[in-house]
């Protein structure tokens, strides 16, 4: 809806929201996207719905990869026209409200949505398409159990069967969430769902069938429930070699500036979502290569002959992905357990650090000693450093991979800003 067509209350709320965000930025308090949206919603609780009306919207949700996939999808949908997006990862309704208010009237929006808020944001924005990436455990002491998240997603999608769904065929919880309950054709998958295969490196949250409680079995890329018809659907979009196969069987080379096979999977998802808006993959694929770092992730910084690359890993699944993305080079691991990270570090024991054997491994962060015990058990030799500057001095010139959880990542970014 353009500003001119909005109800007066929504117009005022939208304008105040933009002003508050600008004031917050001017005061040096981040990009202001949360505070601006929060104030706007206080004035008009329906502001997000008003701002969404008239736009074709895609929502992107899941535990991991949603910030990057949102960026890639915005780039792909950008073939058609201007796209509003919450590119700073402010992924709750206040962030969406602020992003849409700030963007003004755009024909399209691609919004990253925190998995806990998907139902609420579906309701408010009435999107054209929802992309469901994956579900795995996140911070142990606060996140809902993953099966409960899948249940919430499913209940929300049942109320919105007109919404196109683009979902990961490799994640049993996602497949179950995207399949309506009580469907007599269960096991045959609903026609409004497009499946992509982006791989699932982390299986530990999906050994049990969410439908019947039986064991999920796997063989190669296939998986199936041993007690009911739930099984991996045939994906329409598939990562193959350095590219993506589309539903017509055409293969598109994907040249990304982002590392790892996991980002090829994110690219496949972006192409699948864009296709729901009528974007041909052949037109979108070159635009994916313009995405470099995403909110500082994957950023590369050169300092004292070292090329430092920053990888964020916030939960067990994303640690495995980070090992896959990292080159065989000296690697600094940093762990904190502050509020945004979750206070419980016992998840370290769910991650197999063996891929790091043979690399020079350095550790730092508030909880470096937890990491030390874990690496020792895993037979990975390491060296403890107190600061990022010490880490730089301890490695030879060349690539240094840095893998850190949330606040540790922010600490290192702040330290890098100081030394540069």
Residues at the site binding Zn ion, with contacts judged by CB under 5 A: 209, 211-212, 214, 225, 227-228, 230
Nearer to Zn ion, 227 or 278 (CB): 227
Instruction: Tell me whether residue 34 is annotated as binding.
Output: no
Q: Two tokens at 206?
A: 């999906």
* CA 271/CA 72 separation, integer angstroms: 8
What are the φ/ψ torsions at residue 309 (nearest 5 degrees)? -120, 135
Instruction: Tell me whether residue 333 is annotated as binding.
Output: no
* CA 343/CA 142 separation, integer angstroms: 9
Nearer to Zn ion, 143 or 228 (CB): 228
Alpha-carbon distances of 188 from 33, 216, 221, 271, rounded to whole Å: 42, 17, 18, 24
CB of 147 to Zn ion, least distance (A): 12
End-to-end Cα separation, the chain, in angstroms: 44
Nearer to Zn ion, 173 or 368 (CB): 173
For residues 358 and 156, the answer to whether their CB atoms sit within 8 Å is no
* CA 48/CA 298 separation, integer angstroms: 31
CB of 215 to Zn ion, least distance (A): 9
CB of 225 to Zn ion, least distance (A): 3
What are the φ/ψ torsions at residue 80 (nearest 5 degrees)? -90, -25
Contacts 24+ apart (CB under 8 A), 293-301: 294/67, 294/68, 294/71, 294/258, 295/67, 295/87, 295/88, 295/89, 296/409, 296/413, 297/67, 297/68, 297/409, 298/257, 298/258, 298/259, 298/325, 301/416, 301/420
For residues 347 and 370, the answer to whether their CB atoms sit within 8 Å is no
Nearer to Zn ion, 209 or 245 (CB): 209
Please name the residues in contact with 305: beta carbons below 8 A apart, sequence gap of 6 or more: 397, 398
CB of 217 to Zn ion, least distance (A): 11
For residues 36 and 24, the answer to whether their CB atoms sit within 8 Å is yes
Identify whether 341 is a catalytic site residue. no
Nearer to Zn ion, 112 or 211 (CB): 211
CB of 186 to Zn ion, least distance (A): 10
Please name the residues in contact with 154: beta carbons below 8 A apart, sequence gap of 6 or more: 176, 177, 178, 179, 180, 181
Nearer to Zn ion, 76 or 209 (CB): 209
Instruction: Tell me whether residue 310 is annotated as binding.
Output: no
Q: Two tokens at 100?
A: 């849409």
Q: What is the DSSP string of 115-166?
A: GGGHHHHHHHH--SEEEE-------TTTSPPHHHHHHHHHHHHHTTTTSEEE
CB of 229 to Zn ion, least distance (A): 8
Instruction: Tell me whether residue 210 is annotated as binding.
Output: no
Strand, coil or helix: 66: helix
CB of 306 to Zn ion, least distance (A): 50
Nearest to 72 by CA among 58, 56, 53: 58
Set 344, 350, 390, 417: catalytic member: 344
* Binding site members for Zn(2+): 209, 212, 225, 228
Which residues are annotated as part of the binding site? 209, 212, 225, 228
Positions marked active-site: 344
């Amino acid at each position: 809806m353009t500003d001119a067509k909005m109800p007066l209350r929504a117009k005022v709320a939208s304008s105040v929201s933009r002003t508050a965000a600008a004031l917050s930025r001017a005061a040096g308090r981040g990009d202001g996207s949360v505070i601006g949206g929060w104030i706007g919603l206080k004035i008009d609780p329906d502001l997000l719905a008003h701002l969404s009306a008239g736009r074709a919207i895609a929502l992107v949700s899941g535990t991991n990869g949603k910030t990057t996939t949102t960026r890639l999808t915005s780039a792909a949908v950008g073939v058609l026209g201007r796209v509003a997006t919450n590119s700073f990862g402010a992924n709750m309704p206040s962030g969406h409200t602020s992003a849409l208010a700030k963007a003004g009237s755009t024909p399209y929006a691609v919004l990253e949505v925190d998995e806990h808020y998907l139902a609420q944001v579906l309701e408010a924005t009435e999107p054209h398409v929802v992309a469901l990436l994956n579900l795995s455990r996140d911070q142990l002491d606060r996140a809902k159990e993953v099966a409960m998240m899948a249940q919430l997603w499913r209940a929300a999608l049942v109320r919105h069967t007109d919404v196109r769904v683009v979902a990961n065929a490799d994640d049993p919880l996602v497949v179950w969430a995207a399949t309506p309950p009580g469907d007599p054709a269960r096991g045959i998958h609903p026609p409004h769902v497009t499946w992509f295969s982006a791989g699932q490196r982390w299986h530990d949250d999906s050994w049990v069938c969410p439908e019947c409680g039986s064991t999920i079995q796997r063989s190669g890329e296939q998986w199936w429930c041993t007690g009911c018809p739930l099984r991996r659907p045939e994906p329409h979009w598939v990562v193959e070699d350095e590219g993506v196969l589309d539903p017509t069987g055409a293969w598109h080379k994907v040249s990304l500036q982002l590392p790892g096979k996991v980002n090829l999977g994110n690219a496949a998802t972006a192409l699948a979502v864009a296709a729901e808006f009528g974007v041909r993959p052949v037109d979108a694929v070159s635009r994916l290569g313009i995405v470099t770092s995403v909110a500082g992730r994957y950023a590369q910084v050169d300092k004292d002959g070292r090329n430092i690359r920053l990888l964020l890993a916030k939960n067990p699944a994303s640690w495995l992905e980070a090992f896959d993305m990292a080159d065989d080079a000296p690697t600094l691991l940093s762990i904190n357990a502050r509020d945004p990270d979750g206070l419980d570090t016992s998840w370290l024991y769910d991650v197999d650090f063996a891929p790091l054997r043979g690399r020079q491994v350095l550790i730092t962060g508030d909880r470096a000693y937890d990491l030390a015990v874990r690496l020792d058990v895993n037979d990975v030799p390491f060296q403890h450093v107190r600061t990022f500057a010490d880490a730089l001095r301890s490695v030879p010139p060349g690539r240094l991979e840095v893998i850190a959880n949330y606040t540790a990542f922010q600490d290192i970014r702040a330290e890098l800003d100081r030394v540069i």
